[in-house]
Amino acid sequence: MLTALDKKLLEEVADLHGQPPGAYNIRKDGEGIQRRSLEGIEIKTKADQPGIDVIVAAGKEGSVHIPVILTETDLSDLVFNTIDIGEGADIKLVAGCGIHNPGSKNAQHDGVHEIIVRRGARLHYSEKHFGEGEGGGKRVLNPKTVIVIEEDAYAELELIQIRGVDETSRVTEVEVKAGGRLVMFERLLTDGRQTADSDVAVKLMGEQSTARIISRSVAQGHSRQVFTPRLMAYGPGRGHVECDSIIMDHAAVRSVPEIWAENSEAELVHEAAIGKIAGEQLIKLMSLGLTEEEAEEAIISGFLK
Amino acid sequence: MFTLEDISLIIEESDQEIMILHNINLQLEAGKMYALTGPNGSGKSSLARVAMGIYKPTGGQVFLNGEDITSLGITERARRGIGYAFQQPPRFKGMQVKDMLEYAFKYSDGVNCQVLRQIGLCPEDYLERALDSSLSGGEMKRIEIATMLAQNPKVRIFDEPEAGIDLWSFEQLINVIGESHRDNATTMVISHQEKILNMVDEIILMEGGTVSMRGDRDTIWPQIKESARCSCRRSCQMEEEIYADCPR
């Protein structure tokens, strides 16, 4: 039975308003509490470690929600999930973690997702982090996502964390095989004394493999962010890394994009920019009647959209 | 009536005070269209920015229909019905054309997104376009004009609307500015373009931070052209004298 708090957290991280439409597995405070498998989408508990296996049959279309929520303080949850998207399948996978820490001790979730997107399949992966709680205890999230995109498969990743999480260290590793395509959007907003590290490594392995990594972040207060997106081409692939950050108040942002080619036909580009909100942008919106605060909010929400 | 009274603007640069505007007095009537023209650096855009509240004048007062609005900021002036179309509109990553139009509609008396059609852009193609570097300078300018139309203010200031716009769009732009001018609105267009100067009621010439000439178009425009020719002749003569000893 889900409490009102559980429902709120699920709404925040997985946009769930009631029962998910497709297959799902909801994990709360270290334990699976609700699950539904469907024909062609099987979810089962791992035998050797905490976590689940999600097996999607070839050609299957549908959605899978696997959110995690933590509602207790002094809790450390570690989970390993394996997701196998069958050939030609088309799946929307919604992960994400919401923490409500009511106490003075830490609440931490470390999640490892291993995903294989098989030949010709399509995956839309969404992972949203959310944190809240009246206690002084930290909300800590450390996700690791490892993905293999097979020949002619496509994966779109949407990784979102807007305020609320005190510490996060995210690792994303993707291997893109010939004809495979990756599009990754990362959106992050930190404030107060929050810290966020994002380490992304994408390997383009074969002909016609492509990757586009777009990272947008806003750092407010005294928060600190570090981005290290690395794009490596071992074959004649094409890739583009774009890291943009708005820095405000007393925050610090470090952005270290790296491109690395081992094939003369590879084409890789990186762009990185850190800067404050442009004065002319604020003036423009204020000249339409917005207050300075409204203008700032509009610019930030547009930037992170 | 929009009134600028004894407006001065002094800025400090490298420990030096530079006079940008000097004792400007202008009364701009509702229902009339004005052109503000003059050489580069004469203070036209600075004056427009003082009118919008972007620059705070060093001296003088600004009145809108008798109310002293000198101390009001940009937001309050916009909400009272003053609009300003930028010479170089800023770009916004992630923000869409429709977002900008929605903000403009918020404090207006409600015009629909036909404003895009008015400036020759198809709403279906443009509403969801990002206001970033994917749009050309000309498209940005046209969207800026559309935003002004959406805002539908009582006092509308266009800062060089023709800059960066191709000839075809320029013709259309002139029509849009002319047609959008309402009976009870005051329109001021900063421009050097004869076609724009030809459609206004009055021309205001600025030189060296002051208003050097003002009057109805038919009287003032021939004088400005003559003055520009004399100035050109003077500078050519001066150049001849300076370079007289140089090998050609």
Quick one: closest CA in B to A296, which residue? B92
**Interchain contact, B107 vs A288, CB within 8 Å:** yes
**Interchain contact, B90 vs A280, CB within 8 Å:** yes
Alpha carbon of B107: minimum distance to chain A alpha carbons (Å): 6
User: Residue A19 pLDDT more than 70?
Assistant: yes
State whether residue A185 sits within 8 Å of chain B by CB: no
State whether residue A1 sits within 8 Å of chain B by CB: no
Q: What is the DSSP string of chain B?
A: -EEEEEEEEEEEETTEEEEEEEEEEEEE-TT-EEEEE-STTSSHHHHHHHHHTSS--SEEEEEETTEE-TT--HHHHHHHTEEEE-SSPPP-SS-BHHHHHHHHHHTSS---THHHHHTT--HHHHTT-BSSTTS-HHHHHHHHHHHHHHH--SEEEEESTTTT--HHHHHHHHHHHHHH--TT-EEEEE---HHHHTTSSEEEEEETTEEEEEEEHHHHHHHHHHHHHHHHHHHHHHHHHHTTTS--
What is this model's ipTM?
0.89
The CATH class that applies to domain B2-217 reads alpha beta
pTM: 0.85
CA B69 to chain centre: 19
State whether residue A303 sits within 8 Å of chain B by CB: yes
Give kind and range of the element (H or E) at residue A215: strand A210-219
Q: Exposed, middle or buried by CB within 10 Å (0-12, 13-18, 19+), for B215?
A: middle
Q: Domain residue spans in chain B?
A: 2-217
**Interchain contact, B74 vs A281, CB within 8 Å:** no
CA B82 to chain centre: 12
Quick one: closest CA in A to B79, which residue? A289
**Domain count within chain A:** 1
Domain that holds residue A258: 4-303
Residues A68, B66: Cα–Cα separation, whole Å: 62
**Interchain contact, A288 vs B106, CB within 8 Å:** yes
- pLDDT number for residue B111: 52
**Is the separation of the CB atoms in B97 and B115 below 8 Å?**
no
pLDDT in tens, B182-241: 778 999 999 988 888 889 999 999 999 999 999 998 888 888 877 766 665 665 565 565
State whether residue A298 sits within 8 Å of chain B by CB: yes
Quick one: closest CA in B to A282, which residue? B90
pLDDT in tens, B87-111: 999 999 989 999 999 999 876 655 5
Quick one: closest CA in A to B80, which residue? A289
